Structure 1
Amino acid sequence: MSMSRLVLSMIAVLMMASPVMMPAWAAGGSDPAPVAKPADPNFTEGKKAIDAKDWARAIPLFQQVVAKDDKNADAFNWLGYAWRNQGDYPQSFAAYEKALTIDPRHRGAHEYIGEAYLKVNNLQKAEEHLKRLDSLCTFGCAEYTELKGKIAAYKAAKPS
């Protein structure tokens, strides 16, 4: 293709795209970005407690977060994680289920509830959440890889 044909082709593509792009250009870029809602200090402290594996400290902090914001799937997920690591599986499952009710696509909650099911020897439920992650993570994701690895280790440790 000659250089002039290439240039003409590029101009034609740009002209066809301009009506699509016009609303974005018309919106302008001079408006300030919306101000993000400040993070709940209890969430921040709860995450620090999780990182320190201080489950007893994390639980009441995340309970305070969800008491103020009962639609916070991330807080319910971390609450479930802390309860699971403390060995309270009924509370853990309830928190994960709440996170998944709020956000059925919450990959972290699918991974962690799958791991919790392995802890109570429910391989079938863990594999259900692995399948859900497989459908959510089109090109793979860390949560899928982690749960898949935990399921493989579980199967290796408990041969049928």
Structure 2
Amino acid sequence: MRWIAALTALSLAASAGAADMSPPPEIKPAAADPLAAPRRLIAAKDWVGALAALRAQPQAGSADWHNLMGYTLRKQATPQFAEAEAQYLEALRIDPSHRGANEYLGELYVMKGDLAKARERLAVLEKACPSGCEQREDLQKAIAGAAK
């Protein structure tokens, strides 16, 4: 009888241990950046490749996508200012406080010699980041350089 009790105890212990041996919950990776490839191409200054990558995966509702498209169009060997401006404006329609789009649109205006419009973008960035941010500082430098 003792051996039956011992066997039962071992059996219960084994099944309890088996419950502890279940596999851990599945850990899902963070969502991948859908704009990672164009960002890498932009970082490498491969404007043609970045433009192709962006056009291959249009994202009409993404302010980031429109901002990167505008930036890429502006940086082409032959800048496409009108199309770049339209992309920046669409990014700002989606997200009016988008720092990158405000900075890059301001830089586009500096390139076109329209410092009044560039200063309008700077005013938006001053409100968006009153303590300062990279985008605000970069646009300030671009305006200061053009005003000399």
Q: With the length of structure 2 as denominator, give the TM-score of the two structures.
A: 0.76
- Match of 2:123? 131
Matches within 5 A, 1:1-160: 36-40=30-34, 43-65=35-57, 67=58, 69-86=59-76, 87-156=79-148
Aligned length: 122
Higher helix fraction: Structure 1 or Structure 2? 1
CA distance in 2: counterparts of 1:144 and 1:118, whole angstroms: 14
CA contact (8 A) 1:114 1:147 kept: yes
1: distance between equivalents of 2:60 and 2:27? 26
Cα distance in 2, alignment partners of residues 96 and 47 from structure 1: 16
Measured in 2, the distance between the counterparts of 1:60 and 1:95 equals 15
Query: Between Structure 1 and Structure 2, whose CA radius of gyration is higher?
Result: 2
| Percent of residue pairs identical | 35
Any unmatched runs of 5+ in structure 1?
1-31
Aligned letter for 2:33?
Answer: A
Give ranges in structure 2 of 5+ residues lacking alignment: 1-25
